[in-house]
């Protein structure tokens, strides 16, 4: 009825997306592909001459739906009459934008380091002032306006290493840490090392989970690398199913299938794991992690452990295990594998090892842009070149580095800021815990929507059953069906979610990603709008 | 005697640099090239398998000399006895690290936006609070911890557009501005559009001045683009000499020569102009700019105007002209050329058009990472893809965006913060003015050193005459002679400057780049050390 290859979303989004963006959602109302064959102007840079990977790359989390949501928001501000009175952005893990209040301690330290005159007045607690002072002393000329070393301020790297050490129980070298402007930057920097500029050679293949976070698909496409998708098992709550099955005439598991199918086209070098999962919200079991490590060893793969949601675990019995820790505990030869693990101050933050405190804290400082990569068994020569490469961007934002520091080296019991910090952290945490459960339960009550348990991270990825008639209409318009659905949802209700095709999904299944960040009142409002829309949608395409 | 091609530095630094780095200046004491032929370990990523462009790219401003300087600084801190008691870093334009104090207004606004509780107490002036409040209102959820639109907060882009409009006298569309984490990020983003992933095609050629700022050479190499160097004329105070000369059997000027010589190898698409110059400190005349624009038009080139030092002009009679303004004034067809111009909050900042205020302000907020690119005549379809590409990095740091805003939309006469702001700005400015003159005069007094007038920016690029014997010794060690000189200077005096070969220079000439940022007392100290070293050096290689 319709081509499977079109729906089987292991590769970047089909150009229909780009066209759609152009036709419907840009001011200029241009159709790129049509234009590109009749480009008449005399510009140096046109869609015919631009880097073709920039054209084909897609980044759904900020794609056409989000662009349109911003437009609608503006129309509302300007008094336009729309079928809704607010846009609800559940498309991106942006906690503060969704009403989350910041952790006071972080903001106080940033204020003091920005304006050191605050150190001289009676306003902030002593521990805030002391931390600010020690960080200022580590800045060139005592100012956050100075460049830092390209890999970040040394004392902050030391605190990060201590944090990792407490978490894993194994020593960590501060020189194995490089701070960056958010984890995204680190992930992209490490990916770049695998580029082959000689296009006559096989591209380096990067294994990514499907569904995946589109930073990977977008960067892989931009960098001219090869994406090798391995499927997560929805019905097993998005775990990685390592059971051998009879696929393609062989008994094989999902990782082996993905590797085998792509080995002729790509030189597969990397396996990316996102744990806890984005967009799928699962938390990998230790068994799963060990199996991945064994697979990486057998197939000589470099491991990317995207662990930005590491303390963001809600489900009973689920527990976060870092790849680093598991590798070290497995011992030789697995502890010799190359590993890059990523963390960020945008998401959730651990208190691992603190006396009397079990669970994680929440910061959500997305806009401050702090993050890091930590390497294990990284070739020291390659590391020299890596550091040289990142030095061309000078350094990441000093205030973002400081935010990262406040997270890995936070107030301790007895410190003046401790009580408030603990209270804020617990409030955030328990509220998110509730929302994780509420989101799962609420979506599962709606006909034709099926949502796995949100075990961790801050997203749900519900499956939607779309009526045949709706799928046909979408395809006849040249749109991916879940995109068609998401667009209608936005236009009719103001709810902005991301279609599942932006992350990848099994053929003929349709999903969307929503964050669990809207505060409970807003979420309930969102649910009312969503349910009414969904029922209308099913009815009209029955 | 020695091969000219080795010294003719239009291309990235020769591998001898990388080796030298490995041999002398890394903990591991490894020789990359030698190792690379006998790599025995089983790692996925080694110097044999890494992206080769990452190996060949060099970034002298943060190169081996600087790495060594950081090491020496640490040794001093740990009580080591060295021939000097402090390291003087004149390698990078990092004002605050060199004792420059920040502009109070910017820091107060950042403190208030970071910790909005400061808005409620009697500490900051009303205009600071008002600005902070209006910026917070423009942030998602009223928090600087939220992501912004990928191209930056709208109100800040509006302020930037108004600033450009006041400067040039021509309207500027806020949607033509994209904010980034420093200007470096914008420059790299726009360069990426010119990549050809198909290596069987000619690389896009990027014309850069020689000497140039190594962000260009490093990024061009990393992105697998082609560097096309055009020489600046040292004896004409580093102006671009557009006079026709008899070169290579033709009457041609320097831009034409560079283009013609490289057209068979590269598909030349871009001309980069750095004005005021880095590392050369010249300020282009309007005549020069017009000639470059005509050349770009005749040869269908996209113009990169790196104008981060735009208000940083000291010399009598020198005046900054923006490419945008000159293009618009020249009218059709020149005002239809594609232009990307870059600016930053790390450097100097204009007050253009403010009643009663002539010259620039100085911020030097390097560590805050604010900057932008503004486009003229950019293909709207290409722009859609550009914005999609940058969205994969989500957004630049919000506090960096806020710093940028404080610069383009600063206190006005009558505002409570105006007097202090004006005083601080003028102090900085007059002090730098003095230092620009002092640096030129002082170096010219030393035998064998010849320094052009520092007309603008914040660097001097003095020529050094190296004795034949020193050159021979350097080459026998496999080192570029000015690198050999800079290394000795660092080891014997603690002065850290960047060898001229990191920027490119005419064959058989040797230079170094120094900033004019050290405060006067420190500069005098630096000069005493430098003079003594230089005389010793000349003496010992006589």
Q: Which two tokens stand for residue A96?
A: 């503060």
pLDDT score of A273 more than 60: yes
Query: Taking residues B297-324, what's their average pLDDT?
Result: 90
Q: How far is A261 from A270, CA to CA, in rounded Å?
A: 15
Please answer whether residues A221 and A227 qualify as being in contact, where contact means their C-beta atoms are separated by less than 8 angstroms: yes
Cα three-residue angle A72-A78-A79, rounded to 5 degrees: 95
For residue A425, the model assigns a pLDDT of 82
Sign of the torsion formed by the C-alpha atoms of A29, A33, A38 and A43 = positive
pLDDT score of B383 more than 50: yes
For residue B149, the model assigns a pLDDT of 77
C-alpha distances in angstroms, A247 versus A250, A255, A506? Answer: 5, 12, 15
Query: Taking residues A497-521, what's their average pLDDT?
Result: 88
Please answer whether residues B157 and B149 qualify as being in contact, where contact means their C-beta atoms are separated by less than 8 angstroms: no
Burial level of B5, CB count in 10 A (0-12/13-18/19+)? Answer: exposed
For residue A350, the model assigns a pLDDT of 29
Query: Taking residues A152-175, what's their average pLDDT?
Result: 93
Those of residues 447-506 in B touching chain A at CB distance below 8 A are: none
Residue predicted with more confidence, A536 or A33: A536
For residue B355, the model assigns a pLDDT of 22
Other Cβ atoms closer than 10 A to A238? 24
For residue A18, the model assigns a pLDDT of 38
pLDDT score of B345 more than 80: no
For residue A36, the model assigns a pLDDT of 39
pLDDT bracket for residue B100 (50, 70, 90) = low
pLDDT score of B274 more than 60: yes
Query: Taking residues A473-496, what's their average pLDDT?
Result: 94
By percentage, how much of chain B surpasses pLDDT 70? 84
Those of residues 364-393 in A touching chain B at CB distance below 8 A are: 364-369, 377-382, 384-386, 388-389, 391-393
Q: How far is B219 from A197, CA to CA, in rounded Å?
A: 14
pLDDT score of B32 more than 70: no
Tell me whether B92 touches chain A (CB under 8 Å).
yes
pLDDT score of B34 more than 50: no
Tell me whether B298 touches chain A (CB under 8 Å).
no
Mean pLDDT, all residues of chain A: 82
The partner residues of B306 in beta bridges, in order of sequence, read: B274, B342
pLDDT score of B168 more than 50: yes
The partner residues of A375 in beta bridges, in order of sequence, read: A340
Nearest to B269 by CA among B304, B242, B245: B304
Tell me whether A200 touches chain B (CB under 8 Å).
yes
For residue A415, the model assigns a pLDDT of 94
Q: A174-178, A430-434, A453-457, B381-385: which has the highest mean pLDDT?
A: A174-178
Q: Which residue has the tokens 């009719």?
A: A492
pLDDT bracket for residue B397 (50, 70, 90) = confident
The DSSP result for A52-80, as a single string, is: HHHHH---GGGSHHHHHHHHHHHHHHTT-
pLDDT score of B21 more than 60: no
Nearest to A393 by CA among A149, A198, A182: A149
pLDDT bracket for residue B160 (50, 70, 90) = very high
User: Which of A52-61, A167-176, B11-20, B184-193 has the least mean pLDDT?
Assistant: B11-20
pLDDT in tens, B122-142: 899 999 999 999 998 887 777
The nearest CA of chain B is from the CA of A17 a distance in Å of: 12
Nearest to B211 by CA among B281, B268, B286: B281
pLDDT score of B291 more than 90: yes
Please answer whether residues B277 and B456 qualify as being in contact, where contact means their C-beta atoms are separated by less than 8 angstroms: yes
pLDDT bracket for residue B450 (50, 70, 90) = very high
pLDDT score of A518 more than 50: yes
For residue B426, the model assigns a pLDDT of 83
C-alpha distances in angstroms, A185 versus A204, B181, B335, B459? Answer: 20, 12, 36, 30
pLDDT bracket for residue A215 (50, 70, 90) = confident
Q: Is B190 helix (H, G, I), strand (E, B) or coil?
A: helix
Which of A35, A393, A400 shows the shortest C-beta gap to B397? A400
For residue A55, the model assigns a pLDDT of 73
Count chain A–chain B contacts defined by CB atoms under 8 A.
345
Mean pLDDT, all residues of chain B: 82
Which of B43, B141, B364 shows the shortest C-beta gap to A96? B141
Q: Which residue has the tokens 């081996």?
A: B64
For residue B434, the model assigns a pLDDT of 85
Q: How far is A10 from A463, CA to CA, in rounded Å?
A: 18
Residues of A in contact with B384 (CB under 8 A): 21-22, 26, 28, 30, 32
Please answer whether residues A65 and A89 qualify as being in contact, where contact means their C-beta atoms are separated by less than 8 angstroms: no
Residue predicted with more confidence, A222 or A338: A338
pLDDT score of A37 more than 70: no
pLDDT bracket for residue A308 (50, 70, 90) = confident
Nearest to A387 by CA among A182, A195, A152, A173: A152
E runs forming strands in A317-364: 339-344, 348-349, 361-362
pLDDT in tens, A329-362: 999 999 999 999 998 765 433 222 222 222 223 4
Biggest CA pair distance of chain A: 74
Query: Taking residues A21-42, what's their average pLDDT?
Result: 39
**Side-chain-facing half-sphere of A520: CA atoms under 13 Å:** 10
By percentage, how much of chain A surpasses pLDDT 90? 45
pLDDT in tens, B408-434: 899 999 999 999 988 888 887 788 888
Q: How far is A493 from A496, CA to CA, in rounded Å?
A: 9
pLDDT score of A384 more than 70: yes
pLDDT score of B364 more than 80: no
pLDDT in tens, A80-102: 999 999 999 888 766 656 666 77
CB contact under 8 A, A43 and B192: no
Tell me whether B182 touches chain A (CB under 8 Å).
yes
Q: How far is B105 from B393, CA to CA, in rounded Å?
A: 29
Other Cβ atoms closer than 10 A to A80? 9
Query: Taking residues B80-89, what's their average pLDDT?
Result: 92
Q: How far is B502 from A388, CA to CA, in rounded Å?
A: 14
Query: Taking residues A391-405, what's their average pLDDT?
Result: 79
pLDDT bracket for residue B5 (50, 70, 90) = very low
For residue B462, the model assigns a pLDDT of 94
For residue A348, the model assigns a pLDDT of 37
pLDDT score of B454 more than 90: no
For residue A38, the model assigns a pLDDT of 39
Please answer whether residues B294 and B331 qualify as being in contact, where contact means their C-beta atoms are separated by less than 8 angstroms: no
pLDDT score of B220 more than 80: yes
Those of residues 33-72 in B touching chain A at CB distance below 8 A are: 35-36, 41-47, 49-55, 57-59, 61-63, 70
CB contact under 8 A, B145 and A62: no
- Could you tell me which chain B residue has the CA closest to the CA of A175? B27
């Amino acid at each position: 009825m319709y081509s499977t290859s079109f729906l089987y979303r292991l590769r970047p989004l089909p150009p229909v997306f780009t066209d759609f963006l152009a036709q419907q959602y840009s001011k200029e109302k241009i159709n790129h592909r049509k234009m590109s064959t009749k480009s008449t102007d005399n510009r140096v840079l046109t869609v015919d001459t631009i880097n073709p990977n920039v054209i084909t790359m897609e980044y759904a989390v900020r794609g056409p739906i989000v662009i349109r949501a911003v437009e609608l928001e503006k129309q509302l501000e300007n008094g336009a009459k729309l079928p809704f009175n607010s846009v609800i952005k559940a498309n991106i893990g942006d906690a503060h934008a969704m009403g989350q209040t910041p952790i006071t301690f972080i903001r106080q330290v940033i204020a003091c380091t920005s304006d050191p005159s605050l150190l001289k007045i009676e306003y902030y607690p002593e521990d805030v002032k002391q931390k600010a002072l020690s960080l200022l002393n580590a800045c060139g000329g005592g100012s956050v306006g100075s460049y830092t070393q390209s890999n970040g301020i040394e004392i902050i790297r030391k605190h990060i290493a201590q944090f990792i050490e407490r978490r894993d129980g194994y020593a960590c070298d501060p020189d194995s840490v490089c701070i960056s402007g958010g984890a995204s930057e680190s992930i992209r920097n490490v990916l770049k090392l695998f580029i082959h500029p000689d296009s006559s050679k096989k591209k380096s293949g990067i294994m990514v989970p499907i569904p995946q976070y589109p930073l990977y698909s977008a960067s892989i496409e931009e960098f001219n690398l090869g994406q090798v998708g391995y499927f997560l098992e929805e019905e097993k709550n998005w775990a990685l199913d390592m059971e051998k099955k009879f696929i393609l005439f062989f008994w094989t598991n999902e990782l082996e299938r993905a590797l085998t199918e792509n080995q002729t086209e790509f030189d597969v070098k990397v396996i990316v794991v996102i744990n806890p999962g984005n967009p799928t919200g699962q938390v990998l079991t230790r068994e799963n992690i060990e199996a991945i490590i064994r697979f990486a060893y057998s197939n000589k793969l470099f491991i990317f452990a995207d662990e930005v949601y590491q303390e963001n675990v809600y489900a009973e019995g689920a527990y976060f295990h870092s790849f680093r820790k598991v590798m070290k505990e497995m011992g030789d030869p697995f502890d010799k594998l190359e590993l890059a693990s990523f963390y960020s101050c945008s998401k959730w933050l651990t208190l691992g090892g603190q006396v009397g405190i079990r669970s994680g804290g929440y910061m959500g400082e997305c806009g401050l842009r702090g993050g890091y990569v930590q390497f294990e068994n990284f070739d020291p020569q390659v590391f020299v070149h890596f550091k040289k490469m990142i030095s061309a961007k000078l350094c990441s934002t000093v205030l973002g580095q400081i935010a990262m520091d406040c997270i890995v080296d936070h107030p301790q019991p007895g410190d003046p800021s401790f009580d408030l910090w603990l209270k804020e952290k617990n409030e955030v945490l328990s509220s998110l815990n509730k929302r994780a459960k509420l989101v799962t339960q609420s979506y599962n009550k709606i006909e034709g929507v099926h949502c796995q348990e949100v075990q961790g991270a801050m997203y749900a990825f519900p499956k939607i059953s779309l009526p045949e008639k709706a799928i046909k209409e979408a395809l006849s318009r040249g749109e991916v069906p879940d995109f068609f659905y998401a667009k209608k949802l936005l236009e009719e209700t103001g709810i902005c979610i991301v279609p599942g095709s932006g992350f990848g999904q099994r053929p003929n299944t349709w999903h969307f990603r929503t964050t669990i960040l809207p505060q409970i009142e807003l979420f309930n409002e969102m649910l009312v709008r969503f349910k009414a829309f969904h029922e209308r949608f099913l009815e009209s395409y029955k």
